[in-house]
Amino acid sequence: MEKIYLFYMVMGFCLGSILFAYEIPRMVKHVDIRQISEDGNPGTFNAFAAAGVGWGILVLLAELLKGFFPVYLCSKRAGQDSLLFAGVLAAPVFGHAFSIFHKGKGGKGIAVSFGVLLGLLPWWTPVLTLAGFYIFFSLAVPVKSHLKRSIITFGCFGVASLFPQWEFSVRMGILLLCMVVVYKHVEAARELEFADKKKWRIQ
């Protein structure tokens, strides 16, 4: 049984490492979104901006599915009881954030995280909880900075995952993916701050 979980971990990491938000605009529009976007992130939002709505939707679906399939298939085949399932949940996000096809560099992991949580269907609670935090910090208590909003959202989601009503393996997997997403956003915020300081020094 352990081999099944390990198989889906490897599958998830490899699928996660395919940066569709980079590959699809590169193939159809011949652009490198890491070069033309303001933050250099190979993410879904930048794919919409670079390739248009139609191709952007395709990117979004691909990013969701690469997180969905390993989790959904593993859940159906081996179940969620083993702690190794936490690794299956986190693997696509790790792959996306530290892509083996791009020398360990990747995106921030928001879309693929939603895909991972959709892989838990028909259990809707985790994905709706994450979506609820995003809506709350976008509308009820708006955080204007996208980077800060994502850091707060995934930070709160990680804390919420610690409550014992969820399967332990799922809680640990969610905590791991939240740590990766928060780390990538904090890293991006620091890079942006450094770039701003450098810009002011030049001026």
CA gap 49, 56 in Å, rounded: 8
**Is the backbone of residue 82 left (phi > 0), alpha (psi -120 to 50) or beta?**
beta
Strand residues in 70-153 grouped as ranges (E): none
CA gap 95, 168 in Å, rounded: 22
Domain residue ranges in the chain:
2-202
DSSP symbol at 49: H
Six-digit token pair at 93? 């996000």
Please name which of 66, 64, 79, 60 lies closest in space to residue 21, comparing C-alpha atoms. 60
Q: Per residue of the chain (203 residues), what is the pLDDT tens digit? A: 799 999 999 999 999 999 999 999 999 988 888 888 777 788 888 899 888 899 999 999 999 999 999 999 999 999 999 999 999 999 999 999 999 999 999 999 999 999 999 999 999 999 999 999 999 999 999 998 889 999 999 999 999 998 878 899 999 999 999 999 999 999 988 877 655 555 545 44
pTM as predicted: 0.91
Q: What Cα–Cα distance (Å) separates residue 188 from each residue in 78, 128, 146, 150?
A: 36, 26, 11, 11
